Amino acid sequence: MTEKLEALRRPILPDRVRRIGGEGFSFLPHRFLRDGFITALGRGELALYVFLVLAGNRNGVSFYRYDAICSILTMTLDHFIDARNALIAKDLIAFDGYRFQVLSLPSHPRAPDSRPLTSEAEFEARDPATIRASLLAALRSDDE
């Protein structure tokens, strides 16, 4: 039985085993899957997180600008901002306005706030559509 299990664990193409070498420092720890971080992310969040992992240096820092990221990921600016802010709220990345840093994984995934929105203040604080409409209205009033 042990021999059969060992055979199953061997690489299919031994000459193509991935190694962290001179190409970069990218990796996702197994905890990302095992502890449920992957399931705590939406598609845009996951795409941005993987991009930042791939783009980061040995300290997880990358300097890609939002327009380049949006172009590469074919993501709108609104979706980028939502994904970036969600990753920050989930304690997976840091952002200082110019640089991103992929952080070490926290002890457990942070679930998004799933309480229902019931007041105007909650809609203004947590509903992307309300926030966007407020910003667009403010921009239109500035132009007039």
Tens of pLDDT, residue by residue over 8-50, are 778 778 777 666 666 666 788 889 999 999 989 999 999 999 9
Pairing of strands 100-102, 61-62: antiparallel
What is the chain's Cα-based Rg? 20
Question: What dotted CATH number matches 25-107?
Answer: 1.10.10.10
State residue 88's pLDDT score.
93
pTM of the prediction?
A: 0.71
Which segments of the chain belong to CATH 1.10.10.10?
A: 25-107
User: Which residue reads 């706030």 in tokens?
Assistant: 113
